[in-house]
Amino acid sequence: MARRALLLVLLLCANAPGLNARKDEVCFGELRCIPLRDCPKRPLNPEPDPRETINTQFLFFSRESFGEEQKIPGYKIKRDVLLNTKFDPARRTMIIVHGWIDNVFLGKWMTIMKDALLRNGDFNVILVDWTGGNGLPYTQASVNTRLVGAEIGLLVTKLMETFGISPSTVHAYGHSLGAHVVGFAGKWLNGTLGRITSLDPAEPLFEFCPPQARLSNTDAEFVEVVHTDSSSFVPHLGLGMDLAVGDVDFYPNGGQHMPGCNLNDRFVRIQDKNILEGIRTVAACNHMRAIDYVIQFLENSVVNSTCTPIAFACQNYEIFERGYCSDCGSDGSRCAVMSLDDANHNGGLRKKSNDPVRMYFKTGPKSPFCLHHYNIEMKMLRDPKKRLQEVSGDVTIEIAMARGISRKFELKQENGDDFTPGAAYRYLITSEIPLEDVSHITLTYRSKKLLFAPKLSVKYLKFTPMTATKSRMDLKKLSKFFCPKISAVESRYPSKLREEFC
């Protein structure tokens, strides 16, 4: 695997034109000067291609022109040209930027995201096409991101001069290399953009660069990042960054391997796509999942989905999976909602901090992806006289709801540890449907001993929905206690627990 990754690096960087070790910057008139050597760990420093070669195009859309584009080349942005568009300064402006070897037509996701945004709100939507500069070699495309970012910065400046808009009303989305493009646009505008949503920003040639040479949380008033392919490029061929670079960094499913992206699932999904889209699905499923999640959560907002994609701050994903990061904290700053309008949820996180905030949540393997999260606490009976012993085994619960619906879950012990009298154990469970109107919970314990199996002494199960509530008192009200009729649960005999105060 390491050899394959090295060969890929050589392919991506081969024949990079314009290498120049002497220049520290190159200037492009109204686009200002672009530094060439501000990332010491980047091995090659070519100059960006000329503006005319990259030929950045801006495609304007609105609800009035839902499927009708108004295309403006970046180097032709003039006041009279902008006045001839249907741009409305009273609306928020959404900018969408693709990445490497991608474009508006190959990357149908851009059109799908544009349509989802326009269904969700009355926005100006601008798609950015920079296919003249995003091909091989990758080294050249990575440097061209700076010039495209400057083109977007200039566009926003011209919109400010022509229509009097504030850059704080602009929200920029960028995928892969496009995530760094919108970062450089934010730098060009001195961090005055309202919001950046970065979709799995590209790792190669950026991961170990200082903030001035990549996307960073100073590029806008609020920067959120979605990491879905954060395994290292060498040797695992992960295409996205693992480094937390935003105000909020979302790591769904831990950020490396997404459900539904195993090899069999990838080939099944090809049947619903054309050949180019199919190749992208097989080769970069995890990398593209960030797009899938954001688009689907936008669509969920349109249809008023009952499932809210809430992420929770945690030291790492392993601790999150063990159920130890399950509330928003006393001020609401320990969770965030991955959605279009998050002001009611992420207010505490909008305050700039030097410390990165890593947020975790789980998703399903297919659309609509969003899962309902719950925390289960299993409290063991105390044993002041030390008559009870530690027991080992597996625990399964079945949550019964109204209309005969039920769901089963395994409560897995970390490293197969024993259950200790008086101890409390926490678990994270997820469901594609809300677990509501719970009538009872059936607990089944299976001892690892076949003969003379000891009983499991359970005091209660506490069932708590993981919501975006900012008050721990409100969260406490949501918690429900389910108690066994007899605390000593025999191995392999299901025990029914009902809601009551234990």
Q: Return binding residues for Ca(2+).
A: 214, 219
Q: Is 372 one of the catalytic residues?
A: no
The annotation places the binding site at: 214, 219
Q: Tally Cβ neighbours within 10 Å of residue 1.
A: 9
49, 200, 242, 342: which one is catalytic? 200
Contact 181, 201 (CB under 8 A): no
Question: Is residue 180 among the annotated active site residues?
Answer: no
Name residue, tokens 């207010």. 347
Q: How many CA atoms lie within 13 A of 51 on its CB side?
A: 20
Determine which one of 98, 171, 175, 287 is catalytic.
Answer: 287
Pairing mode of beta strands 488-489, 372-380:
unpaired
Q: Determine the Cα–Cα distance for residues 461 and 91; give it in Å rounded to an integer.
A: 49
C-alpha distance from residue 216 to each of 36, 207, 208, 479 (Å): 18, 11, 12, 38
Q: How many residues does the chain have?
A: 502
What is the spatial distance between Cα 277 and Cα 383, in angstroms, rounded to a whole number? 61
Pairing of strands 33-35, 193-199: unpaired
C-beta separation of 244 from 356 below 8 A: yes
Pairing of β 438-447 and β 495-499: antiparallel
Distance, CA of 226 to CA of 196 (rounded, Å): 11
| Three-class DSSP category at 160 | helix
User: Quick check: is 257 catalytic?
Assistant: no
147 neighbors 133 (Cβ within 8 angstroms) = yes
3-state secondary structure of 251: strand
- Residue 441 forms beta bridges with which residues? 399, 497
- Which residue, 101, 126, 99, is CA-closest to 111? 126
Burial class (CB in 10 A: 0-12, 13-18, 19+), 24: exposed
Handedness of CA 214, 218, 221, 222 (dihedral sign): positive
Q: How far is 368 from 304, CA to CA, in rounded Å?
A: 13
Identify which of 409, 469, 411, 463 has the alpha carbon closest to the alpha carbon of residue 439.
463
Q: Choose the catalytic residue: 62, 142, 176, 339.
A: 176
The answer to whether the Cα torsion of 294, 298, 331, 195 is positive or negative is: positive
C-alpha distances out from residue 363 to 34, 228, 309, Å: 40, 11, 9
- The residues annotated as belonging to the active site are 176, 200, 287
